Amino acid sequence: MKILYFILPVFFGSLYAAGFPLFGTKVSFIAGPILGFTGLFYYLDRSRTLKESLFYSLLYSLGFYLTGFYWVPNTLTEFGNIPFPLNHVLGLNALFLISPHIFIFATLLHIFKKKIINQNLQYTIKTLSFLIIQYITPQLFSAYPGHAWMKLAPNLYPAPYFGEYIFSFISILVSFELLHLYREKTFNYVNVLVAFLFFLSCFIPAKKINNKDSINIRVAQANIGNNAKLSAEKGLPNSVHKVLRTYQDLSTKKTEKKIDLIIWPETAYPYSLAPFVLEKDYQFMPRVFKDIHQRMNADIFLGGYLQDRKSKYHQTFNSAFFIHKNKNTKVYNKNKLLPFGESLPFTEGINNAIHSIIPSISFFSKSNSSTLFSSVSNTGTPYRFVGFICYEALSPSLLRKHINLHSKMPQFLINLTNDSWYGETSEPEQHLFLSKWRSVEFNLPMIRSANTGISTIITNDGRELSRTGINKIETLDAIFEFPKKPKKTFFLTWGILPTILFGLSVLIFNIILLRKPFFK
């Protein structure tokens, strides 16, 4: 039976991962993180030493990794040519990068275990503490327990007010109450009532946006494999021709409707573009864009590379370019770089040496600016949007910053991503699943363009209107609707603060209604 004490924490970690799409499918379970954290908290509660608490946290993180992030070794092989079994050895380091907050929470829980307040209040305080610890602790891939509630879309009424954070608070609160029920054969009726009323609130009908505009869009999914992509970026003629020809053919494919906006995914254009080419003289614009402008009379939004010769080592940005049909161009440079894929910490002086060992790793510059893109459709409809690249979709704080920097609200969002490094795994579905929260939190529709899939259109309430397949060459043509005069959501203005105030209110209700002393 003792072996179960080692197996069960791994199982509970796997339940946490079951809240996100599993093994290349769309299957996920809202109850997965709730039950998974109930198991973790049980083990942390019974641990007698800090070493034991951290050991159980490690086993739990192992289960989360093996079920939810099993694709990491495959990525290391695709991205860095790291062979088996070294890719799996290095992949295990993700245990500490994916869920570091769990180890921190376990440590603090052990330190303050004997000083904890009375039984009826402790779970509310632990819930709020867990949420704050996860919020302030950097993660390689931000995955909160509440993300699993996306399965309820479009029934996520509280999201524009509290963001995803309130869903995590409720999930963890229920986890602790299940532990309470298991250990004490009773529960805190205030917390259970709060969770029940919150669940009902998700189904309050949201106010529909009636005042809408629309444009005709085309998302070009070229499905460029990693070998062809890297060869094209090295300038090999055959690969460059294949890449550009594929995008050009997809972009100019005949259609009955006039296309207003054509979208390519992250780093679709294989060559670096210099600022003067884009800003000074249209005659230097690459031929492929001129051809698309001439044949389609459409704006183009695409991912590529921007040269920056001011820095000795970091010379290139991972960028998004908005090339207007009226010959103007605007650029957004990526703000949040993927660790170990787009940058390495503290290595600026030895980047060239590292690049010679692992040539697939890029060393991009990091930007702190934001860009609000705008244009007018062929029918005279003005539109404006904020674009962001790949991994940035997982950061609500980054998107909040981008949107709040501008005096005008964007009418929609565009996410450019690659997602070609992950093979036939869960990553594309997981990435999309987490990205949907940005649409719901900011009450804005989103266009998602991915190299190998999944390209899709997401409504402001988290539904997918249409999608492409994975590893397929496709175009996604659609009449894309967006609000004419969007308004800031409560979450966009205040971020996590409303959820913290909500948690404190639940604690106050516990103190008042239960009439228990605060300390033992």
Is residue 41 within 8 Å of 176, Cβ to Cβ?
Answer: yes
pLDDT class of 6 with cuts at 50, 70, 90: confident
* Top-confidence residue, 241 or 301: 301
Q: CB count, 10 Å around CB of 249?
A: 13
DSSP string, 166-215: HHHHHHHHHHHHHHHHHHHS---HHHHHHHHHHHHHTTSPPPP--SEEEE
Q: Sheet containing 456-458: which strands, arranged edge to edge?
A: 372-376, 382-389, 412-417, 446-450, 456-458, 464-467
- Residue ranges, comma separated, of all CATH 3.60.110.10 domains in the chain are 212-484
Residue 248 has pLDDT above 60, yes or no: yes
Pairwise CA distance, residues 120 & 118, whole Å: 6
Q: What is the structure's pLDDT at 51?
A: 94
* Top-confidence residue, 87 or 506: 506
Q: What is the structure's pLDDT at 84?
A: 79
Q: Helix axis angle, 165-184 relative to 119-136, nearest 10°?
A: 140
Is residue 378 within 8 Å of 260, Cβ to Cβ?
Answer: yes
Residue 342 has pLDDT above 90, yes or no: no
> b or e along 162-188 (b: 16 or more beta carbons within 10 Å of the residue's beta carbon)?
bbbbbbbbbbbbbbbbbbbeeeeeebb
pLDDT class of 367 with cuts at 50, 70, 90: confident
* Top-confidence residue, 513 or 487: 487
- For the domain covering 212-484, report its CATH number: 3.60.110.10
Residues in the chain: 520
Q: What is the structure's pLDDT at 76?
A: 75
Residues 6+ apart with CB under 8 A from 496: 135, 163, 165
Pairwise CA distance, residues 106 & 53, whole Å: 6
DSSP string, 294-351: HHH--EEEEEEEEE-TTSSS--EEEEEEEE-TTS-EEEEE-SSPPBTTTB-TT-GGGH
* Top-confidence residue, 8 or 325: 8
Q: What is the DSSP letter of 364?
A: B
Q: Helix axis angle, 165-184 relative to 189-201, nearest 10°?
A: 140
- The alpha carbon dihedral of 399, 404, 408, 409 has a sign of positive
Is residue 221 within 8 Å of 475, Cβ to Cβ?
Answer: yes
Pairwise CA distance, residues 222 & 232, whole Å: 14
Q: How far is CA 263 from CA 208, 260, 292, 349, 442, in A?
A: 27, 10, 12, 36, 22
Residues 6+ apart with CB under 8 A from 278: 285, 321, 323, 329, 331
Note the pLDDT tens digit of each residue in 378-411: 999 999 999 999 989 999 999 999 999 999 999 9
Note the pLDDT tens digit of each residue in 184-221: 888 899 999 999 999 999 999 887 878 999 999 999 99
Pull the structure tokens for residue 95: 């245990």
Across the range 22-45, mean pLDDT stands at 92
Is residue 476 within 8 Å of 456, Cβ to Cβ?
Answer: yes
Note the pLDDT tens digit of each residue in 422-459: 777 888 999 999 999 999 999 999 999 999 989 999 99
Pairwise CA distance, residues 172 & 164, whole Å: 13
Q: What is the structure's pLDDT at 8?
A: 94
Q: What is the structure's pLDDT at 329?
A: 85
Pairwise CA distance, residues 414 & 303, whole Å: 11
pLDDT class of 276 with cuts at 50, 70, 90: low
Pairwise CA distance, residues 33 & 333, whole Å: 35
Output the pTM of the full model: 0.92
Q: How far is CA 82 from CA 351, 358, 361, 480, in A?
A: 18, 9, 12, 42
Of 189, 112, 195, 205, whose CA–CA distance to 156 is shortest? 205
- Percent of the chain with pLDDT strictly greater than 90: 61
* Top-confidence residue, 50 or 425: 50
Q: What is the structure's pLDDT at 327?
A: 75
Place of tokens 């990693």: 226
- Percent of the chain with pLDDT strictly greater than 70: 88
